[in-house]
Structure 1
Amino acid sequence: MLTPRHQALVATLAGMTVGVAVFGTVLAINSATGNDSAQTVVTSPAPSPTSTATDGLQPDSLQFVAETFGSDKAPITAEVPAGWKSSQAGTRPRYVDPTGVWQVRFDARGSKQTPTALLEARQGSIDEQDYKVLSADNTTLIYTYTDKARGPRMGLSRWIPAGESGRSAVEITVGGRPQDEAGLRAVLEKATETLQLPGTGDDRPS
């Protein structure tokens, strides 16, 4: 027979066993229901939006609106990208996008020189770091250079003849970055195609 002391020891051990079992059951329930305060929740970060800073200006992202410049006696109309604004009117407007990265500029003062002569003169007069001519065909000069403040840049300049006179009527220049070339070409072509010189309203550059 167990002595009273042994009986008390057995009762104590039995109580401890039951307590451990109950504690283990509580932990299991808390883990299953998410109530365990020590439980670590691991979440995957949401993917960040794809950066478009280096994607370049895309032609299919552009919409165009007609703008009128020149003078009251000799107004000129051409289409430029919607949202691009000019801070000046007259014969030398410059339409810039809200970010200041892209622009299209018109010079409608005209010249007695031919478009080819003006292209050659411009080609030899640009004094910019890393200046490089990519092409100089069909009265259009395409070049790149490095701007100290903005980095690599690209320019496309085109001289529009005044009918069959041989003179130059308008210069159109678009500017941006080298990765914007496709969009810049689209802006230049749209401005050229929609250019309305003073006259009947149907006059187009030849």
Structure 2
Amino acid sequence: MLTPRHQALLATLAGMTVGVAVFGTVLAINGNFSGGGTPSSQVVNSQPVQTPSKGDGLQADSLQFASEAFGDDKAPATADVPVGWKSTQTGTRPKYVDPTGVWQVRFDVRGSDESPADLVAARERSIDEKDLKVISRDGGTLIYTYEDETRGPRMGLSTFRPTADGEGTVAEITVGGRPQDEAGLRAVLQRATETLQISGAGDTRPN
């Protein structure tokens, strides 16, 4: 038969055992048992790049623009492009792409002796894409759609800016996206055209 002293000692040992078990459980739950683990209850917040869905379209009123410099020493150029669109190259043929890779604007400021009308016709002939449909080829601007094997339906707008005498071309600007992006693509093209300046090439903006 246990004496009162033995009973008190057993009760103390039982309490210590329960306390150690509870403490160990808490540490295991928090993931800090080894002192270097990541708590299992930790929530990692991430902000994935939002790629527009097929039903979304590039909205003109959602765009903000900033001036970008490109060209070369003989003909430095500047033009406004949407904020956040980046180019991996400068020079005379830069291409600015949005973070999702859906939309782009490309410049070519090398110039040509051919007229905008001739270059529109040449560009139309050079496009080798499935289901090519030309929407318009007026005013030195070619507007077209086609089917890309990996990206689906696409739309392109290429405009060629004339020299002062109208005989040659000082620059080409092309924007690309999807058919549902047409309003936004037109806004990007218009802003780029209105703000394009090429030193030494005269005023490249349309009359």
Asked if TM exceeds 0.5, the reply is: yes
The residue that corresponds to 1:5 in the other structure is none
Once the two structures are TM-superposed, the CA of residue 171 in structure 1 deviates from its matched residue by 0.5
The residue that corresponds to 1:7 in the other structure is none
Q: CA deviation at 1:165?
A: 5.2
Alignment partner, residue 20 of structure 1: none
Q: Equivalent residue for 2:108?
A: 107
SS in 2 for 1:192: helix
SS in 2 for 1:69: strand
Where does structure 1 lack aligned partners over 5 or more consecutive residues?
A: 1-50
Task: State the shift of 1:162 in Å.
Answer: 1.9
> Residue 30 of structure 2 corresponds to which residue in structure 1?
none
> What letter is aligned with 2:61?
D
Change (3 A) 1:55 1:113: same
What's the counterpart of residue 79 of structure 1? Answer: 80
1:145-170 C-alpha deviation (Å, 9 max, x unpaired) = 00001000000000011222511110
Contact map agreement 1:197 1:205 (CA 8 A) in 2: no
Give the C-alpha shift of residue 79 in structure 1: 0.3
Aligned residues of 2:92 and 2:107 also touching (Cα < 8 A) = yes
Post-superposition, which runs of at least 4 consecutive aligned residues in structure 1 deviate over 6 A? none
Match of 2:203 in 1: 203
Contact 1:71 1:90 in 2 (8 A): yes
Residues 123 and 113 of structure 1: CA distance in aligned 2, closer, same or farther (over 3 Å): same
Partner Cα distance (1:87, 1:137) in 2: 31
AA at the equivalent of 2:162: P
User: Could you tell me whether the CA contact under 8 Å between 1:162 and 1:205 is conserved in 2?
Assistant: no
Name the counterpart of 1:121.
122
Q: Alpha-carbon deviation of 1:204?
A: 3.6
The residue aligned with 1:161 is: 162
* Contact persistence 1:163–1:205 (CA under 8 A): no
Query: Is the contact made by 2:170 and 2:204 (CA closer than 8 Å) also made in structure 1?
Result: no
State the SS of the aligned residue for 2:124: helix
RMSD: 1.7
Q: 1:52-90: CA deviations, max 9, x gaps?
A: 622200000000000111102311111000000000110
State the alpha-carbon separation in 1 of the partners of residues 123 and 174 from structure 2: 12
**CA distance in 2: counterparts of 1:107 and 1:52, whole angstroms:** 27
Opposite residue 142 of structure 1, the aligned amino acid is I
- Give the match for residue 182 of structure 2: 181
Taking the aligned partners of 1:190 and 1:57, their CA distance within structure 2 comes to 15
Partner secondary structure for residue 78 of structure 1:
strand
Inter-partner Cα distance in structure 1 for 2:205 and 2:52: 36
Q: Give the count of matched residue pairs.
A: 155
Structure 1 counterpart of 2:98, one-letter code: D
SS in 2 for 1:193: helix
State the match for 1:64 in structure 2: 65
Q: Whole-Å Cα distance in 2 between the matches of residues 204 and 124 of structure 1?
A: 25
